Structure formats: C-alpha cells, structure tokens
Structure 1
Amino acid sequence: MNIVHILEDFSFLSGGLRTVVKDLHNRLINNGISSTIITTRKEKDDDVIKVEGGNKPWRFSKNLINKLNFLHSQKNIDIIHIHGVWMYPQYAAAKFAFNNRIPYLISCHGMYEPWLWLNGNFKKKMYFKYVVKNIFSKAKYLHAITLPEAKELRKLFPKTNVVEIPNLIDSKSVKIDAPNLKEKYILYLGRIDKKKGIDILINAFANIDNKNFKLKIAGGFNDYQKELEVLVEKLNLNDKVSFVGLITGVEKEILFKNAFVFVAPSHSEVVGMVNLESAVYGTPVITTKQTGLKKEWSDNGGFLVNPKVNEVQKALQVSLNWSDDERNDNGKKLNSFVTKEYSWEYRFKDWLNLYKSIL
C-alpha cells in the first residue's frame, strides 16, 4: 500500500495538525506501509517533501502536480490522503487524484465547523460552493474527528461517505514523572487565535479568588497577541500573565508536566491535540464541550464547559483549590481515560481498516 499525504503546512506553526499527520505517517511506516508527506512548509530536519508555495497566497505551488506525477510514475500511488480544505494543495491534489483515478480521502480537521461558518467571510463561502465542493464530494471518504463534525459534513456533502475516527495520541512513549508544582501556573498552549477563546481565559483568570497562580500563554507571536496584551494591561494583570512564545520539544514537555491545570477554552475544535497531550503528561484539562470530546471527560479528572467566562472561571476556582495530591490524582485519571479512548495503541486499527476498505 502506497499512501501520499497532502497538507499546506507541516511546520510547528500548524499546531496539532502537524502532530496528527506525523503520528499517522510514522505508524504507517512502522507497520510496513509506504507513506509520504508533501507540504509547502516544514521544519529543517523533517523527512518530508517540500514543494514551493509556503509564502504565496492560497499556498499556490507550481511544482506540486509535477511532484505527484513523478511519485505516481515511480510507484503507483494507491491512496491520496488530503489534510485540510482551504488551500491550493488540497484542491490540486483532489483534482489530480480524480483525473488519475486514484482513491482519495479528505480529513477536514474541523475546518468546516459551524462556528467557523458563522464567523467566516463571504469569500470562503464562495470558495467552498464554486471551487471545491464538487471535487471534494467525489472523495471516497470524508474523515471526521468527532460525531458533531461528522453530522456537519453529512449536511455539506450528503452523497459522500463520512467516517469518524478521533484524533489519537501516543501515550506509551510518555513517562509520567512527579511534576514540579512549586511554581503555580495555569497553562494555555496552542495557536494564538480568536477561535481559541484565549480572551475568555484571561477574563476568567482576572476574576478568580486564588491569587497565588500565574497564567502562561504559549504560542507563536502574531497580531492577535497584541489585542490580548492590551486586554491583560487593561485588567492590571501584567505581573500575572506572561506570553512565552512558541514552545517545542523538551521545553514544551516540561511546561505541560508542571502546569497545575491546562485550559483550552476554544469556541470550535475537533478534540484538540493539546488537550490530549496535556492529559498524557498527567495534567488536568479544562476545555469546552465544543471540542467534541466524550462527555465522560468530566468524570475522569477533567472539565468540559462552554466557552463562557463564568463557566471557565468556575472550573478554575474548583481546580485551583485542589491540593497537589488531588491535582496529581485527577491528572492520572485523565491520562488513563485518554489512553483508552484516544490512543494509537487502541485505535490505529481503525485507520488500517479504513485504508483497506478504500482499496
């Protein structure tokens, strides 16, 4: 089986998408399946194929089709797995697959979630309707990460098969060490984006009674961060809130492990890899019902709330009053839940069965 993955961005800036695709790619290779990633952006040491277009509008790439033609001529491509929906690489790959009679699968990664339509622009709606809807509807499957996303995709593509497989994480490779909880802090880590509800977290943090904690916000700097910095200053939180930039590797692992609680109050998300990562590191997670996570999350050391200041504030107030032992117990409980419901060890067979069914 020869599978080619297409996405516009495989760099650290792509956040959870990079983690999802990289893990799937590595699992396939480790199981003797040929897997190749093509992207317009990557990190220096990534063993993937980079085509031009990373800095162009629509990520337009002149040599993407040539690269696909070359790969197909060297060894027939059995499946093209497209990740994302809004950029040229996805559109071009779908057309290439259709024209060459190669089965293709599209993982939408939450990019058609209702909140995004409500807050999107006219141009995106026209792009969907007149450019990609027809060619995407010819995919063998559309992949949804959560049940709500699957329902939304069936509305948008009523004649196309939709399959649901959640985001998965490698839980066995992480060793849960005793955390260093001397520095009491709440953590947000991810893209700095309005969709992520970071302003909700800042406002909720401003209202909590427990003043011993600080808030760390990790993510690559952009224009939206400037708005958040203004909010922090307005709330007189400059000495309590820090923007620590893009954190990766071992530094990221330490930041997760030693946080007292992780908070991701997103307006729209499909599971959210950062929620799973935090849980695997044994850190309790406050996130939103809009992630599509199983409701049992709230019974296993975590909190599922709505993206509203008062609900995030209430969950923070409860969790920050835990003792260190209570915090650790809830983190272990959430780790066990995620290992069972969202780990590659338990669910990789779902991907193998899907690829086999496509062939």
Structure 2
Amino acid sequence: MLCAAGADPVIFALEDLHSADDRSRFDGIPVQLGRTLGPSQIGYSPDLGRKLAAADIDLLHLHGIWMATSHLAERWAAVTRRPYVISPHGMLDPWITQRGQAKKAIARLGYEHRSWRRANLFHALTRAEAADIQRETGNDAIAVIPNAVDAHLYDNEGRDSATARIVYLGRIHPKKNIDGLIDAWQILVKQRGPAAPQLTIAGWGDPIHVAALQARIDLVLDSRLSFTGPVYGDAKRALIGSATALALPSHSEGLPMVILESWASGIPVAMSQHCNLPVGFTSGAAIDSGVDAHSIAAALAVLLDESGAARQRRRAAARDLATQCFSPQIVSEQWMAAYHRILERNS
C-alpha cells in the first residue's frame, strides 16, 4: 500500500527460521535482518541496531512492543532526532498487560518508558486500543487507523454446501478461547447429532499450545473436529471461503485480520466484543458470540439456521464492510496523511 502511495519503505526485522520464506512476501521491498543474541523472545540484536543506524530513512515505525527492538528504535530516534511511530498491535490490552507482569515491569523500566516518551505518534487499530494506549503510556498523540484487506483477492460467491462448517483460523493461544469454541461445538453436537457442523481449526502457535490442542482433539474422537495446522495464500483463502461462518470468540484482540478476510469473502462471523469491530454487529456482518461456551453455541446456531435470504444479507453486509471501510486505498490514504503530518511538524 505504501509503495503504491509513493512511499519508499525499508523493513528491519529480527532473523529467525522463517526469514527466507517471509522475505518473498514483500515483493522486492528491501529487508534488513539482524541476528539475535540470547533468548529469541527478548529480541536483543546489536546487529540490527547497526543496520538501523546506517540506514538513511526519514521516519521509523516500530511494530510491536515488550521486546528489545523498542530499545533499538528509541535509540535511533534519540540519535537522529527523526520521527518515531509505535504500533503496539494490541499488546497494551489489559488481558495482555496482566500476564507476565514481572517481565513487563523489567521491560518498562529497561526501555519501554523511554520509548513511549520518545514516540511522536502512537497508532491504534481501534478506539478501544487508543484508550488502552493512553492509559498505559500517558501519551495522547494517537492515530486510529484500521488494518486493510484487498477484497479483490477473495472469492465472495458465498457457496452453500450440504455440510455446514465452522472455521477458526489464527494463532493457537489461550487468549483466543479455542477451548471455549470446542466446548460450544460439543454443545451443538449434543443438540444436533448427525446434523452438527464440522469445526475446522487452522493456525500456528507455540508448540506447547499446539500440543494441548491436538491432545484435546484426539480425546474427542470425532472426525468432524479437525486441526489442519497453519494455512497460507490460496489455501487460506479457500478455507475461509468454505466456511458457513468464521468463529473468533477471543478474550483479547487488536483488530483481527482474519475477520476482515472473512468479510472480504462474504463470510459472516461469530466473534466476541473483544475483537474490537463493533461495526460488524451494527451492519449485520457479525453476531456477538460472547466468550462462554453456551453463548458461543447460541451465536453459531443463529448463523447455521438462518434462511437463505438472511444469509445473503449477511454476506452482502460483510462484503460492503470490506470494500467500503477497510480497503487498501482508504487505509493507505490515512497512513500517508499521518506520516506527512509528523514529518512536517518535525522539519
């Protein structure tokens, strides 16, 4: 999006096992990788710091916090006196800040407080996240800009099939409430017997969380419940397009891309309010699942049992949101305006 809008981005990132594969996603945009020293979850990389210091860039945009990359970014901004933007990507949500408090206290004292004070602008994906940022950092220079989805990449025909399918796609992590979703699906199995929907879970995560999920599925012993692992590209789009509904009953989110991708495909969503997309509820593209197994089951039942005409209205609402509120053109215009304002104030 930024290239199309006339910007010249350069990506700085920590090197990991997937760096070679990920590089191809950036379509020729320069990528500078830094080797890490010590635990990967800390992300300490003097190598990346040197590459950042040698780069000739007008503005630095940090994605994510709680890692040593915050220190590198803050030091760059202090030395160059050039603008510095932070996107926490949901990492200041209370559900997140209340976990691992000792490690986060060390990060705050070690580098995050300095980084937050140095930032010219914070980026929030939603108004709820903007409130979290202001509360945690005391900084009220916040731009609310959503993620974008290119609806042209997704099939929006809305295929019906004899077998209903609920799809979960995303990170395998307790905050996603996948156990609650499985509990809800088992309620539907008891209620509907052979007519119960399939539940397909796809995604990636820490090995311990993936192993726990697989162990639970193995105990259920029902072929209608499956875990496919991570899916990408055409396979991901095909899985979303095969769904009767997507489910995301999370305890905590920033702004989930998978919901935007589902709407681009014309697929309605059962999601919790923690997904921070209330426009989905008001438009009819989504239904509130809550986070309790019974409320999730009830929400899924509504989407499964709707008439053909009602389903078509939801599909149309979903597609309209993707094209009218979250299109790359609309979002890139907001980003370029924000970047230009910062650069002009700093000149």
TM-score range, shorter chain: 0.7 to 0.9
Give TM-score scaled by structure 2 length: 0.87
Counterpart-to-counterpart distance in 2, 1:343 and 1:60: 35
Gaps of 5+ in 1: 1-26
Give TM-score scaled by structure 1 length: 0.85
C-alpha change, 1:114 and 1:353, in structure 2 (3 Å) is same
Q: CA deviation at 1:237?
A: 4.7
Equivalent position to 2:241, from 233, 238, 257: 257
Does 2:177 align with 1:197? yes
* Residues 41-84 of structure 1: CA deviation (Å, up to 9, x unaligned): 43432442222129735122231122112222xxxx11000000
C-alpha change, 1:276 and 1:43, in structure 2 (3 Å) is farther
Equivalent position to 1:348, from 324, 329, 332: 332
SS of residue paired to 1:29: coil
Q: Equivalent residue for 2:84?
A: 104
Please tell me the residue identity of whatever aligns with 2:302: V
Does 2:126 align with 1:126? no
Counterpart-to-counterpart distance in 1, 2:140 and 2:151: 33
Q: CA deviation at 1:160?
A: 4.7
SS of residue paired to 1:53: coil
Please tell me the residue identity of whatever aligns with 1:50: L
Counterpart-to-counterpart distance in 2, 1:282 and 1:269: 21
Q: Equivalent residue for 1:5?
A: none
Please tell me the residue identity of whatever aligns with 2:265: Y
Gaps of 5+ in 2: none
Does 2:181 align with 1:227? no
Q: CA deviation at 1:313?
A: 1.0
Counterpart-to-counterpart distance in 1, 2:122 and 2:76: 17
Equivalent position to 1:217, from 185, 198, 201: 201
Does 2:264 align with 1:284? no
SS of residue paired to 2:222: coil
Counterpart-to-counterpart distance in 1, 2:335 and 2:213: 39
C-alpha change, 1:248 and 1:183, in structure 2 (3 Å) is farther
Please tell me the residue identity of whatever aligns with 1:307: V
C-alpha change, 1:122 and 1:238, in structure 2 (3 Å) is farther
Equivalent position to 1:164, from 123, 144, 162: 144
Counterpart-to-counterpart distance in 2, 1:225 and 1:159: 37
Equivalent position to 1:267, from 251, 265, 269: 251
Please tell me the residue identity of whatever aligns with 1:198: I
Does 2:7 align with 1:33? yes
Q: CA deviation at 1:147?
A: 0.8
Contact 1:260 1:327 in 2 (8 A): no
Contact 2:2 2:9 in 1 (8 A): yes
Q: CA deviation at 1:176?
A: 2.0
Q: Give the percent of matched residue pairs that are identical in Structure 1 and Structure 2.
A: 28
Contact 1:167 1:342 in 2 (8 A): yes
